[in-house]
Amino acid sequence: MGIISYIKEEIQVVRERDPAIKSNMEVLLYPSFKVILHYRIAHKLYLKKHYFLARWISQRGVRKTGIEIHPGATIGKGLFIDHGSGVIIGETAILGDNVTLYQGVTLGGTGKEQGKRHPTLKDNVMVSAGAKILGSFTIGENSKIGAGAVVLEEVPPNCTVVGVPGRIVRRDDKKVPQADMDQVHLPDPMLNDIKELQIANFQLHEELLEMESRLKCMHCKDAKCSAKEREYKAD
């Protein structure tokens, strides 16, 4: 693909997914657009084993945008990084087509692996603000990672993951993130657990009240029996 065609494609990606952009010229100032151009050049140099030059260009992109993409990472078409400050993509990370990342996302390793040590994100994955995906495993197609989630194990396709550590709260939701980029209205497993605890607590409270009432009745009956016994002995 020629550089002009590539730039047009990247402009289209940004305009489709960010309603704040009002013109093509505005996209040229966009951090995601800048860092992707730096990455594409650095990645070509990295593949040719010009590691120092690749890292130099990559670090220029970091200083300009606050987004760190290792030149060794493999990234498909249509990557969109919204705002982007604090985003980190590790050396052996693999991203498919049409992946969306928000600010503060980390695609990192745990520091224990050798070789492939960063996650693989399949097509149409969306990772919300502040989420961390750590380790060498796969996030399946069309999956959505909730804001602030920490994902430490593989996620099947078409899933929604939230929480720390991340757990699957929805499966087989076929909508792709670009059609539904809502990163706020996700299921909340903690809220569901709290509601269940409240219901259980209410039921326990009712049972205790009923038990207390029965004990009082038993005590009253025992007291009456004792009084009758005392009268019988007195006679």
Residues 156 and 194 placed together within one structural domain of the fold: no
pLDDT of residue 2: 64
pLDDT of residue 49: 93
Number of domains within the chain? 2
pLDDT level of residue 143 (50, 70, 90 thresholds): very high
Residues found in the chain? 235
pLDDT of residue 75: 93
Torsion of CA 126, 90, 41, 10, to 10 degrees: 10
Residues 167 and 216 placed together within one structural domain of the fold: no
pLDDT of residue 199: 85
Residues 192 and 208 placed together within one structural domain of the fold: yes
Residues 54 and 166 placed together within one structural domain of the fold: yes
pLDDT level of residue 139 (50, 70, 90 thresholds): very high
By CB atoms closer than 10 A (0-12, 13-18, 19+), residue 33 is buried
Tell me which of 142, 168, 184 is where a domain ends: 184
Residues 172 and 145 placed together within one structural domain of the fold: yes
Residues 122 and 203 placed together within one structural domain of the fold: no
Is pLDDT above 80 for 175?
no
pLDDT tens profile 93-123: 999 999 999 999 999 988 766 789 999 999 9
Domain span at residue 57?
Answer: 3-184
CATH code (residue 147): 2.160.10.10
Question: pTM here?
Answer: 0.71
Residues 174 and 201 placed together within one structural domain of the fold: no
